[in-house]
Amino acid sequence: MFQTLEITPRHIPRMRYRCPSCTQLHHGFPALAYNLPDAIFQLSAEDKARRAVISSDLCILDDARYFIRCVLAVAVIGYEEEFEYGPWVEINTEDFTRYSVWFNLGVSPGWQSIEGHIANAFAASSSTTLGLGCRVVLPDDEDSRPFVQVSDISHPLFDEQTHGMSITRATELIAHLKGFVLIVD
C-alpha cells in the first residue's frame, strides 16, 4: 500500500517523470501544454484545413484571429523547478505581424511586452482561463517562447503565479496528463 511521504526542509523529494512520447525519464515537472488554441482545436479536420493556418508556434483562424504559443510558469513551493503551462495567447493583428517577424527573422518587434488573452481553458482550474487577460513578455533570447503573466488579480491563477502553488496542486494538475508517470524520490 502507499506510504505517506513526509516533506521536511531536510528532505524535499526530487520530481521526475517518464514522458509518454520519448519514454525517457526527465527531471522536474512535465508541462501542461496545449497543441492548439481551443478555438482551432474544436474544429473538424475539414474546417481546420480550410479556416486555419497552423504551425507549432503561430496560428491564424479565419484571417481574423491570431495566436502565439507561450509559457506560463508557476513556482512550486519548496522546489527549484517550476510548473509550466504551455498556453496559446490571442493577440491583435499588428502585434502578431511584428511578433512573427521577430519569431522568423530575429528582428525586434519594437516592444518588450503586449496585452493578450489566454486561448485555452486549463484543466483542473476552478475558474476558466479561456479569455483571461494577460501580458506576453518576450524572452531575452530568441530560442525561448514568450512568457505569460496573468493580469486579472482576482483570478486564482494570478495568485498561484504570484505566490506559488503547493506540491499537492502540482500533482493534481499532472494527474490530468495522459500517459505521464510522476516519480517522487
pLDDT per residue as tens digits for the range 31-65: 888 999 999 999 999 999 999 999 999 999 999 99
**Summary mean pLDDT of the chain:** 85
Distance CA 15, CA 159 (A): 23
pLDDT at 177 over 50: yes
Domain residues for the domain of 149 are 15-184
Q: How many domains does the chain have?
A: 1
Residue 3 placed within a domain: no
pLDDT at 183: 60
Mean pLDDT on 137-150:
86
Q: Are 52 and 61 in contact (CB under 8 A)?
A: yes
Residue 9 placed within a domain: no
Residue 7 placed within a domain: no
What is the reported pTM? 0.85
Residue 104 placed within a domain: yes
Mean pLDDT on 10-32:
67
pLDDT at 180: 59
Distance CA 29, CA 17 (A): 7
Residue 1 placed within a domain: no
Alpha carbon 93 to chain centroid, angstroms: 22
